[in-house]
Copies of this chain bind each other. A is one copy, B any other.
């Protein structure tokens, strides 16, 4: 039976709300995800929240019923609460009907199977959580084997990243590594490292991609460090016909990923 929480001052409410801050996420190893669609995606991927908050009204939806059963079956806690508290947890006035609290998870590099997919996404010092989430969403769409986050990237478990991923956080494996660990792993098997760069004349449509292709996108403002570009098997650029010299990082990654996909699928 779900318990009910009605007070903003409730300890669990305060604790869950604090997960909007990276410091607390790190301390607890927990993060927030919201919305029936995303939580159902999570459930189907085998990720069940430790806590599930919902309103009496929200609990009537068949997907919510299935979620509540799954949470209670897995030893988690299903908690009925008010719309106001749900809004407070999600940080949005117009809250989703369910909010889940999940344990963080990443995949060790050694557990990634490079034969699992012809395309892998790699991002270096990504700063914007929306970009990270959007790249995960694109990764799901192109069937990427995973997203490898290099050096100091923004937290993939931030509320903004989870939201932008639209559930792909739960379906696309994420590894977080230093460049010094990534390169030896990459070179221990077949791999083509493709870097997006402004320092090349090779158009992205003119290059030949060979599976497994690892698509490397650099920091939003600075792009890739020179030494990282030097490690790439090929550097490519996208045509820029306007005044600006770069695209949004998530956009550039997607245009590249779809080109690689088209080539590799023939």
Stretch of A55-63, A65-73, A238-246 on the interface side: A238-246
**Residue A247 at the B interface, CB < 8 A?**
yes
18 contacts between A and B (CB under 8 A): A41-B244, A44-B243, A130-B130, A134-B250, A137-B244, A138-B248, A141-B238, A141-B244, A164-B248, A166-B244, A167-B243, A168-B242, A168-B243, A168-B244, A172-B242, A205-B262, A239-B265, A241-B261
Main secondary structure of the interface of A (DSSP, over half): helix
Residue ID in chain B nearest A259 by CB atoms: B258
A251→B205 CA distance, assembly (Å):
18
Residue positions of A touching B, CB distance < 8 A: 41, 44-45, 130, 134, 137-143, 164, 166-168, 171-172, 205, 238-244, 247-248, 250-251, 254-255, 258-259, 261-262, 265
Say whether, besides A251-B254, A254-B251, A254-B254, A241 and B143 are in contact (CB < 8 Å).
Answer: yes
- Within the complex, the shortest CB–CB distance from A136 to chain B, in Å, comes to 10
Task: Please give the distance in Å from A216's CB to the nearest CB on chain B.
Answer: 18
Q: How near does chain B come to A214, taking the closest CB pair, in angstroms?
A: 17
Q: Which one of A139, A251, A254, A262 has the highest number of Cβ atoms from chain B below 10 Å of its Cβ? A: A251
- CB–CB A243/B143 < 8 A: no
Distance of A225 Cα from B41 Cα, bound (Å)? 26
The chain B residue sitting closest to A242, CB to CB, is: B140
Q: Distance (Å) between the CB of A250 and the closest chain B CB?
A: 6
Contact indicator B247/A137 (Cβ below 8 Å) = yes
Interface centre among A45, A240, A248 (most CB of B within 10 A): A248
Asked if A247 and B205 make an inter-chain contact with CB atoms under 8 angstroms apart, the answer reads no
Contacts of A167 in B (CB 8 A): 243-244
Number of copies: 2
Q: A132 CB to closest chain B CB, in angstroms?
A: 12
Q: Is the CB of A241 within 8 A of B142?
A: yes
Residues of B contacting A261 in the complex (Cβ-Cβ under 8 angstroms): 239, 241
Q: Which 7 A-B pairs have the closest CB atoms?
A: A140-B242, A143-B241, A251-B254, A255-B258, A134-B248, A171-B243, A141-B240
Is the Cβ of B242 less than 8 Å from the Cβ of A41? no
Bound CA–CA A243/B255 (angstroms): 20
Alpha-carbon gap, A238 to B259, bound state (A): 12
Q: Give the chain B neighbours of A241 by CB distance below 8 A.
A: 141-143, 261
Q: How far is the CA of A238 from the CA of B41 in the complex (A)?
A: 21
Whole-angstrom CA separation of A254 from B250 in the bound complex: 10
